[in-house]
Structure 1
Amino acid sequence: MKVTVSHQNDMKFEAKTSKSSFIIDCPTISPVEYFLSGLITCSATDIILIPKNQGKSVTDLVVEGDVIRAEPHPAKFDKLHLTYSFNSDADDDTQAARWVMASLETYCSTINTIRDTTQITYTIIHNGKTIRENEKMISGGGSNIDLGDISGCPS
């Protein structure tokens, strides 16, 4: 995978991938917000695709991410809580929970990239009922690794 980011003007940048391009309008939307959006979207796509591959479907999917960041800079993610809310024709709530856990523990490469430095928890609301609340990921869990100071686009 390769991405090229080019400065356009002011604090606008164009990101080009092999498939498309988009404008990053900083600080209207900060790179950290794009990053969190990418993490969430990675997992959200799994929550659609995993059931589909099992002959099931998910509707009304909403995934919220709430991050607590370290102080001071580089203000890395210390804690991330994800709330998954969706309806489905899963056989039961356990199957629906397994879809989320498979995304978090195995398939979502972006979340798995940060799991060793970020404590990740999740809540699942399936067919209007909370079936998991503030559960911790099985693996990872964060650490106290100091990645040092960097300066860049305001976040």
Structure 2
Amino acid sequence: MKVTISHLDEMRFEAKTDRGQSFVIDCPVISPIEYFLSGLVACTTSDLIAIPKKQGKTVTNLSVDGEVVRNETPPCKFNTLHLDYRFDSDADDMTALRWVMGSIETYCSTINTVRDTTKITYSVTHNGNVLRENEEVISGQGGNVDFGEIEACPS
């Protein structure tokens, strides 16, 4: 995977993927860290469509909130990440939980990228039933890694 970022003007940049797609990053309208969090949530959300589909199941009314708490001083890394999954499906609750855990623990590469440095919690509401609330991901306990200061778009 490769992405090339080119400066357009002011604090606007174009991102081009090696698959020929592109999008504009418009700082500070949407900061790079907000794009990152959006990508993280989109990754796990797409798993919640793809995994059930492979099992002949359907997910509807899917919504996932991602909320982070960051360091107040640079590098302002994620300290905690909470994911709140809400969806309906034609599967039982245990299967729905397995889909969420499959995404968090195995399939979502963005979550797995931050898992060693970020404490991760999640909540799941399936077919209107609260199945988990503020449950901790055992392997997402965070750490004290400091990647140093960098100069970038304001976040």
Q: TM-score, normalised to structure 2's length?
A: 0.97
Distance of 2:72 and 2:146 partners within structure 1: 12
Residue 67 of structure 1 pairs with residue 65 of structure 2: no
CA drift of 1:30 comes to 0.3
Distance of 1:44 and 1:118 partners within structure 2: 19
Determine if contact 2:86/2:126 at 8 Å carries over to the other structure: yes
Distance of 1:66 and 1:140 partners within structure 2: 15
How many matched pairs?
Answer: 154
Could you list the per-position Cα deviations for residues 19-51 of structure 1 after superposition, in whole angstroms to 9, with x for gaps in the alignment? 300000000000000000000000000000101
Q: Structure 2 counterpart of 1:69, which letter?
A: R
Q: Which runs of 5+ in 2 are unaligned?
A: none
RMSD over aligned Cα, in angstroms? 0.8
SS in 2 for 1:32: helix
Query: Within 5 A, what are the aligned runs for 1:1-150?
Result: 1-19=1-19, 20-90=21-91, 92-150=92-150
SS in 1 for 2:83: strand
CA drift of 1:140 comes to 2.8
List structure 1 segments (4+ residues) > 4 angstroms apart after TM superposition: none
Determine if contact 1:80/1:121 at 8 Å carries over to the other structure: yes
Could you list the per-position Cα deviations for residues 84-113 of structure 1 after superposition, in whole angstroms to 9, with x for gaps in the alignment? 0000001x2111011000000000001000
Q: TM-score, normalised to structure 1's length?
A: 0.97
SS in 2 for 1:125: strand
CA drift of 1:18 comes to 2.2
Could you list the per-position Cα deviations for residues 59-101 of structure 1 after superposition, in whole angstroms to 9, with x for gaps in the alignment? 01000011100120110000000000000001x2111011000
CA drift of 1:139 comes to 1.5
CA drift of 1:126 comes to 0.4
CA drift of 1:54 comes to 0.5
Distance of 1:57 and 1:43 partners within structure 2: 16
Determine if contact 1:42/1:110 at 8 Å carries over to the other structure: yes
SS in 2 for 1:138: strand
Distance of 1:65 and 1:115 partners within structure 2: 14
